[in-house]
Amino acid sequence: MKTIEENTIFTNVAETSDGGFWWEGMEQPPPGVKIKSWLGDENWTKDSGKPAAHPNSRFCTPARQCPIIDAAWEDPKGVPISAILFGGRRPAGVPLVYEAFNWEHGVFLGSAMRSEATAAAEHKGKVIMHDPFAMRPFFGYNFTEYQKHWLSFGSKPGLKLPKIFHVNWFRKGSNGKFLWPGFGENSRVIDWICRRVDGEANIAQESPIGLV
């Protein structure tokens, strides 16, 4: 939250009567502070039946304001990339995390991704859509050429290619609830990925879809 304390543009969020901004998931404002919804409804409350902030509300702020950003984030030399994570919203059929067999398989996983539509998409939710590389709204040129570009790195000599993983935080059980708690618990998945990058072999098993 310290990142967005200043020099920040908010869109489609609620406003508070003391000059702040608010959205679902934040702590309730202090007593006496009123909430104005993103639709302009004064004195918004949870009982109104409508969200205070749009599900796709956003903010834009300079990255340099993040208090924990790496000191080398603007280093023109760049930094080595050890792992690439692809992920989408799949309520069924896709495990929490798995690793591609190799670079080409990883590019295939990215190309074949599908995901449940979100508020950011032009479709209503619950529709499972093709979303290659989780980039559906952002492709700026022919997708075949985009794939060729990714695959071309596999044939360039001297490159140490990063491992590719696929994650899915959104799998649901028969009761319709998420199986994985998410948030801080995601660090357990990141830990496994980092250990795989470091070469630990006894923490993964080969399966038809990849290493799990």
Predicted confidence (pLDDT) per residue in 133-171, tens digit: 999 889 999 999 999 999 999 999 999 999 999 999 999
Q: Is 68 left (phi over 0), alpha (psi -120 to 50) or beta?
A: alpha
The number of folded domains in the chain is 2
| 183 and 122 belong to one structural domain | yes
Do 132 and 164 reside in the same domain of the chain? yes
Enclosing domain of residue 177? 83-206
Q: Same domain, yes or no, for 51 and 126?
A: no
| Tokens read off for 162 | 């990063």
Q: Is the pLDDT of residue 118 over 80?
A: no
Is the same domain home to 97 and 196?
A: yes
Q: Do 95 and 175 have their domain in common?
A: yes
| Tokens at 121, concatenated | 């998409």
Confidence label for 123 from pLDDT (cuts 50, 70 and 90):
low
Kindly indicate the confidence band of residue 120, based on its pLDDT and cuts at 50, 70 and 90: low
Contact of 115 with 131, CB cutoff 8 Å: yes
Long-range contacts of 99-104 (CB under 8 A, 24+ apart): 99/163, 99/164, 99/165, 99/193, 99/196, 99/204, 99/210, 99/211, 99/212, 100/163, 100/164, 100/165, 100/166, 100/210, 100/211, 101/210, 101/211, 103/153, 103/154, 103/161, 103/164, 104/151, 104/154
* 206 pLDDT higher than 70: yes
DSSP per-residue codes, 116-163 = E--TTSSS-TT-EEE-GGG-GGG--S-HHHHHHHHHHGGGSTT--PPE
As a whole number of angstroms, the distance between CA 204 and CA 212 comes to: 5
pLDDT of residue 122: 58
Nearest-angstrom CA–CA distance, 82 and 77: 16
CATH of the domain at 8: 2.170.8.10
* Domain boundary residue, one of 42, 67, 92: 67
Mean pLDDT over 191-205 rounds to 98
Please determine, for residue 189, whether its predicted confidence score (pLDDT) is greater than 90. yes
Please report the pLDDT score of residue 121 as a whole number: 56
**Residue 79: its pLDDT value, please?**
86
pLDDT higher than 80, residue 124? no
Question: 122 and 156: one domain?
Answer: yes
Calculate mean pLDDT across residues 47-72: 94
Domain annotation covers residue 148: yes
Q: What type of residue sits at position 76?
A: P
- The answer to the question of residue 89 being in a domain is yes
Residue whose tokens read 């290493």: 211
**pTM of structure:** 0.80
Side-chain-facing half-sphere of 208: CA atoms under 13 Å:
1
At 126 the pLDDT is 79
